Amino acid sequence: MLDLDDFSADEIEQVLQTSEAMKEVLRRDIKKVPPLRGKVVMTLFLEASTRTRISFEEAGKVLSAEDTLRSRPRGGTPPFTGLGLGVR
4-56 per-position pLDDT tens digit: 888 899 999 998 998 888 888 888 888 888 887 887 777 777 777 788 888 88
> CA-CA distance, 83 to 10, in Å (whole number)?
37
In a domain, 31, yes or no: yes
Beta bridge partners of 67: 40
Cα 12 to the center of its chain, rounded Å: 19
Segments in the chain forming alpha helices (H): 9-27, 50-62, 78-84
Q: Which domain holds residue 47?
A: 8-84
In a domain, 3, yes or no: no
Q: What integer pLDDT is reported at residue 73 of this predicted model? A: 54
> CA-CA distance, 85 to 46, in Å (whole number)?
16
What crossing angle do the helices spanning 9-27 and 50-62 adopt, rounded to 10°?
80
Q: CATH code at 54?
A: 3.40.50.1370
Domains: count for the chain: 1
**Is 66 a residue whose pLDDT tops 80?**
no
